[in-house]
Amino acid sequence: MKGFHLLGHDDKIIGKIIKTWVDSKVVRFEAVIPEGLPAAMTITLAIGVGYMAKRNSIIRKLPAVETLGSTTIICSDKTGTITENEMTVSEIYAGGKFFELTGTGFQPAGEIKHNQVNINLNEHQTLKECLITGLLCNDSDLIQKENNWEAKGDPTEVALITAAHKANLKQTLAESFCRIDAIPFESHLQFMATLYDNAGDKIIYVKGSVEKILAMSSYQLNDHTGLENITEINISKLNKIADDMASKGLRVLAFAKKKIESKNHRIEISDVDNGLVFLGFQAMLDPPRPEVIDAIRECQNAGIRVKMITGDNLKTAISIGRKIRLNQSSQENPSHITAITGKELEQYSGNDLVEIVDNTDVFARVLPERKFSIVKALQSKGNIVAMTGDGVNDAPALKQADVGIAMGITGTEVAKEASDVILTDDNFASIKAAVEEGRRILDTLIKFITWTLPTNFGEGLVILTSIFTGLLMPILPVQILWINMTTALTLGMMLIFEPKEVNVMSRPPRKPHSPILTKDLIIQISIVSVCILISAYGLFELSIDEVSTIEEARTIAVNTIVMIEIFYLFNCRSLTKSFLRVGFFSNKLIFFGVGVMILLQIAFTYVPVMNEIFQSHSIEMDSWLKIIGVSIVTFLIIEIKKVTSNRLNLKRKR
Residue extents of the structural domains in the chain: 16-51+436-506+513-653, 69-82+289-426, 88-285
- The predicted model gives 420-442 an average pLDDT of 91
**Cα–Cα nearest to 362, from 336, 394, 393, 381:** 336
Q: pLDDT, tens digit, for every residue of 67-81?
A: 888 999 999 999 889
- The predicted model gives 223-227 an average pLDDT of 58
Identify any residues that bridge with 364 across adjacent strands, giving them in sequence order: 341
Q: How many of the other CB atoms lie within 10 Å of CB of 264?
A: 12
- The predicted model gives 209-222 an average pLDDT of 94
Query: What pLDDT, on the 0 to 100 scale, is given for residue 614?
Result: 94
Beta pairing class for 362-364 and 339-341: parallel
d(C-alpha 341, C-alpha 211), whole Å: 12
- The phi-psi region of residue 56 (left if phi > 0; otherwise alpha if psi is between -120 and 50; otherwise beta) is left
**Cα–Cα nearest to 186, from 374, 386, 369, 450:** 369
Question: How many H-runs (helices) and E-runs (strands) does the chain carry?
Answer: 24, 21
Identify any residues that bridge with 204 across adjacent strands, giving them in sequence order: 195, 258
Query: What pLDDT, on the 0 to 100 scale, is given for residue 45?
Result: 82
Query: What pLDDT band is residue 650 in, cutting at 50, 70 and 90?
Result: confident
Query: What pLDDT band is residue 33 in, cutting at 50, 70 and 90?
Result: low
Q: pLDDT, tens digit, for every residue of 539-553?
A: 998 998 877 689 999
Q: For the chain, how big is the Rg over CA atoms in Å? A: 35
C-alpha to C-alpha distances, 419 to 25, 57, 370, 423, nearest whole angstrom: 46, 12, 17, 10
Contact 423, 56 (CB under 8 A): yes
Q: pLDDT, tens digit, for every residue of 329-380?
A: 545 555 678 999 998 999 998 999 999 999 999 999 998 888 999 999 999 9
Contact 64, 411 (CB under 8 A): no
d(C-alpha 410, C-alpha 429), whole Å: 16
Taking the alpha carbons at both ends of the chain, their separation in whole angstroms is 58
Contact 44, 441 (CB under 8 A): yes
- The predicted model gives 266-291 an average pLDDT of 92
d(C-alpha 151, C-alpha 141), whole Å: 6
Query: What pLDDT, on the 0 to 100 scale, is given for residue 113?
Result: 93
d(C-alpha 79, C-alpha 155), whole Å: 10
Average pLDDT value over all residues in the chain: 87
Q: How many of the other CB atoms lie within 10 Å of CB of 571?
A: 23
Residue type, 405: I
d(C-alpha 534, C-alpha 433), whole Å: 44
Identify any residues that bridge with 629 across adjacent strands, giving them in sequence order: none
- The predicted model gives 308-323 an average pLDDT of 90
Give the active site residue among 10, 23, 77, 244: 77
Element (H, E) at 113: strand 112-114
Element (H, E) at 360: none
d(C-alpha 129, C-alpha 191), whole Å: 18
Active site residue 77: yes
Query: What pLDDT, on the 0 to 100 scale, is given for residue 490?
Result: 92
Q: How many of the other CB atoms lie within 10 Å of CB of 551?
A: 17
d(C-alpha 207, C-alpha 138), whole Å: 9
d(C-alpha 288, C-alpha 320), whole Å: 7
Identify any residues that bridge with 93 across adjacent strands, giving them in sequence order: 98, 281
Q: Is 259 exposed, middle or buried (0-12, 13-18, 19+ CB in 10 A)?
A: exposed
pTM exceeds 0.95 for this model:
no
Give the residue with greater pLDDT, 547 vs 556: 556
**Cα–Cα nearest to 315, from 283, 267, 280, 357:** 283
Topology at the third CATH level for domain 88-285: Calcium-transporting ATPase, cytoplasmic domain N (3.40.1110)
Query: What pLDDT band is residue 435 in, cutting at 50, 70 and 90?
Result: very high
Give the residue with greater pLDDT, 77 vs 175: 77
Identify any residues that bridge with 233 across adjacent strands, giving them in sequence order: none
State the architecture of 16-51+436-506+513-653 in CATH terms. Answer: Up-down Bundle (1.20)
**Cα–Cα nearest to 390, from 478, 310, 330, 271:** 310
**Cα–Cα nearest to 554, from 529, 569, 537:** 537
CATH for 69-82+289-426, options being 3.40.50.300, 3.40.50.1000, 3.30.70.1560, 3.10.450.30: 3.40.50.1000
d(C-alpha 241, C-alpha 254), whole Å: 11
